[in-house]
Chain A
Amino acid sequence: MDKAIEVKGLRKCYKDTEVLKGVDFEVKRGEIFALLGANGAGKTTIVRILATLLKQDGGTAAVHGFDVASEPEKVRQAISLTGQFAAVDEILTGRENLVMIAKLRHLPNPRAVADELLNRFGLNDAANRKASTYSGGMRRRLDIAMSLIGSPQLIFLDEPTTGLDPEARIETWKLVKGLADGGTTVFLTTQYLDEAEQLADQIAILHKGTIIANGTLEELKKLFPPAKKEYVEKQPSLEEIFLAIIGYKEGA
């Protein structure tokens, strides 16, 4: 079984607004998968369904072969979630946050786990300060560090670099690549086309409730409407492809 995630015909409505109208995609194990979409496209909704936090209204979603609706406990064994907004305990210190998660994952030596991560994420100096005193970037790092505890096989990162400065962004990219090199599957959502371009093995574009394009960067480049290609000398960036596809769908 080489599929980390399998989503078929996924639908979700909030009251009368239909946010997901039949979403299909697959994520292979060990790859970095980027879900790209504008504000309100439904990226977080998909992540929350896959992380067993929200029930879908239709279609199926499976993580490591386990259905998210009928076997959520098995799914939770395999995953870890870093939500869109850093979910750290602000009253606890950075170290205490990490120790807490290590205990909840029933690891043998929570303190050693915390120390190792504090080191790796450059949080040593701030380890004994309340997380409420952290900057946005530090909080994000702590948040991601907490998600790595227990070496989950699949990590969800919902807009991991939104609000970070360029340097912190590049740090996060390195981290994500490192995770993938270590064999972890990474599912990330982003609004930044360059982020998907930099990181992802596979890119899916979510627009108006469905996946309008899905493939490797190379494959997406081929989707670029040929009529425009003649006028463009350089390789089209993902941004251009994105805008072209959206324009194309809406024109059609």
Chain B
Amino acid sequence: MNEHFFSDMSVMLGRSMRHIMRSMDTIITVCITPIAMLLLFVYVLGGAIQAGTDNYVNYLLPGILLMAIASGISYTAYRLFQDKQRGIIERFHSMPIARSAVLWGHVLTSLVSNALSVVVIILVALIMGFRSSAGILEWLAVAGILMLFTLALTWVAAIAGLAANSMEGATAFSYPLIFLPFISSAFVPTESMPAVVRAFAENQPVTSIVEAIRALLSTQPVGDEIWVALAWCLGILVVAYFFAVRAYKKGN
């Protein structure tokens, strides 16, 4: 590894954090949209939804966090594609810097910016009545799962950003990801769904991740859900990382 890897990566991080802070669009999508969803579901639809819980904000929050992350990572694809398109990556690659720092800078930016939006959303949820009995260990476990989830999806986004030929192509992959929570136990219990939908909902990654986080936050036993959740995240992470690095090497 290049001796300047970390300093180069922090320059890259500073650069793309500036991009985020200067883009109203990004801030609206990654923070304000999930908060609007939270408000909508709690105050408009919540009264009619039978989730079998007395605190619907508590029930809803894990799914909203995953949605926020799923829409946040599409900006990683967007930024990578733009850098590739505008010759910025070539400029960096012709310089004596650690080449991998360019890619890792984007990945780190994704982790930091998604962590920020998750914190903001949790703060808003607290105002709306979200309460948790979780202790420091449970919170650390929740943070770990969310980070792993972000990392896994970020590498998926990296493949899209590096391999796409158009901006639409680079970001389109995230739409199904954003809607995945709807067909899961994120908003309503899966028992209420028709058999086929239910089978899908119960076996897709979002459900196990949501259930694991929900259990941790309400200090219920997490059971097997957490292992299923971790297996999904790690599996996606490894496969996506492999293809993303391949796309990155191929691109230059």
Q: Least Cβ distance of A159 to chain B in Å?
A: 13
Q: Which of B1-42 contact A (CB under 8 A)?
A: 4, 7-8, 11, 14-15, 18-19, 22-23
Q: Which of A70-114 contact B (CB under 8 A)?
A: 73, 76-77, 79-81, 83, 85-87, 89-92, 96, 100-101, 103-106
Per-residue CB contact flags for chain B residues 76-92 toward chain A (1 = under 8 Å, else 0) read 00000000001110111
Docked-complex contact B94 and A52, CB < 8 angstroms: yes
Interface residues contributed by chain B, number (CB under 8 Å): 22
| B176 lies within 8 A of chain A by Cβ | no
Docked-complex contact A104 and B88, CB < 8 angstroms: no
| B53 lies within 8 A of chain A by Cβ | no
Report chain A residues within 8 Å CB of B88.
Answer: 87, 89
State the CA gap A248–B22 with chains docked (Å).
57
| B247 lies within 8 A of chain A by Cβ | no
Report chain B residues within 8 Å CB of A104.
Answer: 8, 11, 92, 95, 97
| A175 lies within 8 A of chain B by Cβ | no
Docked-complex contact A103 and B87, CB < 8 angstroms: no
Per-residue CB contact flags for chain A residues 22-57 toward chain B (1 = under 8 Å, else 0) read 000000000000000000000000001001111000
- Given known contacts A100-B15, A103-B11, A106-B7, A85 and B97 CB-to-CB distance under 8 angstroms: no
Report chain B residues within 8 Å CB of A90.
Answer: 86
Docked-complex contact B91 and A83, CB < 8 angstroms: yes
B94 contacts which of A80, A85, A86 (Cβ < 8 Å)? A80
Docked-complex contact B19 and A91, CB < 8 angstroms: yes
Docked-complex contact A81 and B19, CB < 8 angstroms: no
State the CA gap A80–B19 with chains docked (Å).
25
Docked-complex contact A85 and B87, CB < 8 angstroms: yes
Most A C-beta atoms less than 10 A away, residue of B7, B19, B22, B94 = B94
State the CA gap A76–B93 with chains docked (Å).
9
A91 contacts which of B22, B92, B94 (Cβ < 8 Å)? B22
Docked-complex contact B93 and A52, CB < 8 angstroms: yes
Most B C-beta atoms less than 10 A away, residue of A80, A87, A91, A104 = A104
Q: Least Cβ distance of A148 to chain B in Å?
A: 13
Q: Least Cβ distance of B80 to chain A in Å?
A: 14
Docked-complex contact A87 and B91, CB < 8 angstroms: yes
State the CA gap A89–B91 with chains docked (Å).
11
Report chain A residues within 8 Å CB of B52.
Answer: none
Docked-complex contact A73 and B22, CB < 8 angstroms: no
Docked-complex contact B86 and A87, CB < 8 angstroms: yes
Docked-complex contact A76 and B22, CB < 8 angstroms: no
- Given known contacts A83-B87, A100-B15, A53 and B93 CB-to-CB distance under 8 angstroms: yes
B96 contacts which of A77, A87, A92 (Cβ < 8 Å)? A77
Report chain B residues within 8 Å CB of A91.
Answer: 18-19, 22-23
State the CA gap A116–B134 with chains docked (Å).
55
State the CA gap A104–B93 with chains docked (Å).
11
Most A C-beta atoms less than 10 A away, residue of B7, B15, B91 = B91
Report chain A residues within 8 Å CB of B95.
Answer: 76, 80, 101, 104-105
Residue of B with least CB distance to A93: B18
State the CA gap A53–B251 with chains docked (Å).
9
Q: Least Cβ distance of B84 to chain A in Å?
A: 11
The 9 closest A-B CB pairs, nearest first, are: A87-B87, A81-B94, A87-B91, A76-B96, A51-B94, A103-B11, A77-B96, A91-B19, A83-B87
What are 5 of the A-B contact pairs (CB < 8 Å)?
Answer: A51-B94, A53-B252, A87-B87, A91-B23, A104-B11
